[in-house]
Amino acid sequence: MLIRLIPLDDELDRSYLGRLMRINGQRNEVELLNLIARWAGFPDKTRRQLPAIELLALASGMELQEFVRTHSTLPYRRSITSYLPMVEHGCPKNKDMLFISGIRLARDGVFLCEKCIEKDLLNEGMSYWRRTHQLPGVMVCDIHNETLFYTNDNGHFLFSPLQIIKSAIRISEDLATSARNNDAISRFLKIGRALMSNSAPISHIRSMTALRSKISCMGYRTHCGPSNSPLISDYLVKTYPHVWLNSIIPDLSTKSPGSIFYRIDGILSFTKSPSPVASYLLIAAAIFFSAEDALKSINSKDISFKKMKGQGRDRTRADLQRRYIQAKGKHHEMYSNSLAAPPLMSSHLKTLGLPNLIDEDGSSTLIAMRSFFCDGKSLKESAKLGRVPIDAVEDLIRQAGININLALNEIRQ
C-alpha cells in the first residue's frame, strides 16, 4: 500500500520524494521508489525503464510532463540545449534522459528561507523545499526578500526544512546584497525562471545567433580569434559583482583582461560545443536592457546573424565620440532611444576609453582630466583644480587608457 500526497506549490521533486518517504515509513530513496513501482504494478522494471521522476509523477497523480515542468529543475537545465531541442521537457518517450538527469539538481547544496518555513507551517501545516530557491544565482527569497540559508549536504532534501534550518548557514550579506542591488543579476534570474516555464528547450544555435547579433552591434568580438574588438567575457566581469559571479562560474572573475574565456567567448562561435545554460543567461542578462527584450530575442525564430562590418563599427564609434563631446563626457546626457540602454552604453563607452565625467558637490572631473591630458599638469595639480580626489582621477585615467592596458597584458616578458 502506498500513502499518496499532493505536491505543493513550487515544491522540488526531491522534497516531494522526501515527504513520501517519511509518511510511508521508508528508510531511503531506493525503498520508496521500489514501493511506488510495486503499487503502480511495475515491480520488475528497472530504473532506466521506469525512472525515478516518472515514479514520482505516478504517485502524485499528475501527467509526467506536467510534473517535470512544475516540480523538476530539468526545464531549467535544458532550457537551452543542443541535445534533442525538439523534444519537450518530460517527454515519456525519452527514458534515457529522464533516467540520467530527471531529478538532478541545478546547483550544489540545499537552499531554504526561514520566512517560507514559517509561512508554510501556518498555511500547509508543514515545511517543504521550494524549487525556485534551488536555481543558480538565487541568494534571496523572491517572496520575502530574505537572505537564504544553505547546507552542502544534498541528502537534506529528504528531511523537513524545519529540521535543517537549525544547522543551516546563512548566506553572507555581501553575497545577498550584491544579488539584491544589481540589475543584471535581476535580469539573469528573471530570464532563467521564464525559460524554465517553456514546454520545450530552445536550440543553442538559435540562442547563439541572437546573442551574436546583439554583441556584434555593441562592437564586441564574436569569435575567439585575433581581433582588436573587446571580449564579452571582460564585459561580464565588469558587469557582475565578483562575489556573486563566483557562485555561477568560479574562475570567470579572476581571468586576465583580454584573455579568452572559452565557456563565455566560445558560445559565439562553437556550434558543436555548447556551454552550460548559465553562460547564455549571463550574457543575455548583461547585454539586454530588460529580461523581456532578452527573452524576445532568444525565443525569436526569425533571426539571422549580420556581422557589423569594420566601417559600420567605425561609424558607430565616431557617432558615440561625437555625442560624448556634445555631452561634455557625461554618459547619462548621451542616452536616447536610438542608443543602447544607459548601463550598456556606459560600459561600452568605457571600453572605448571614454570614462564618465561626473560633476558633483562643486567638483569637476572634466576640468581635472583636461588639466592632466591637455594642459600637461601633474596628477596632484589636476585633482586640485577640479576639486576631485586624486584616487578618482587615477581611476578615470586608467579607464581612458584601457587600450594600452589590454596591450600591456598581452605583452610577454
Q: Which grid coordinates belong to 271?
A: 556550434
Q: Sketch the domain layout of the chain as residue ranges.
A: 13-101, 110-171, 183-299, 357-413
| Strand pairing report for 149-151 and 202-203 | unpaired
Q: For 207-259, how does the pLDDT look when each residue is reduced to its tens digit (9 = 90+)?
A: 888 888 888 888 888 777 777 788 899 999 999 999 999 999 989 999 999 88
Task: Calculate the average pLDDT of the chain.
Answer: 85
Asked if 68 and 53 count as a contact pair (C-beta separation under 8 A), the reply is yes
pLDDT of residue 140: 96
Report d(CA 73, CA 362) in Å as an integer: 53
- Classify the phi-psi angles of 160: left when phi > 0, otherwise alpha if psi is within -120 to 50, otherwise beta: beta
Asked if 240 and 185 count as a contact pair (C-beta separation under 8 A), the reply is yes
Q: For 173-203, how does the pLDDT look when each residue is reduced to its tens digit (9 = 90+)?
A: 989 998 898 999 999 999 999 999 998 999 8
Report d(CA 42, CA 52) in Å as an integer: 13
Average pLDDT over residues 301-322: 55
Q: For 25-51, how does the pLDDT look when each residue is reduced to its tens digit (9 = 90+)?
A: 999 999 999 999 999 999 888 888 899
pLDDT of residue 404: 63
90-101 b/e with 16+ CB inside 10 Å = b?
bbeebbebbbeb
Give the relative orientation of helices 204-217 and 277-287 as an angle to the nearest 10 degrees. Answer: 30
pTM above 0.75, yes or no: no
212-231 b/e with 16+ CB inside 10 Å = b?
bbbbbbbbbbbebeeeebbb
pLDDT of residue 13: 97
How would residue 339 be classed by pLDDT, with cut points 50, 70 and 90? very low
pLDDT of residue 226: 78
Q: For 110-160, how does the pLDDT look when each residue is reduced to its tens digit (9 = 90+)?
A: 999 999 999 999 999 999 999 999 999 999 999 999 999 999 999 999 999
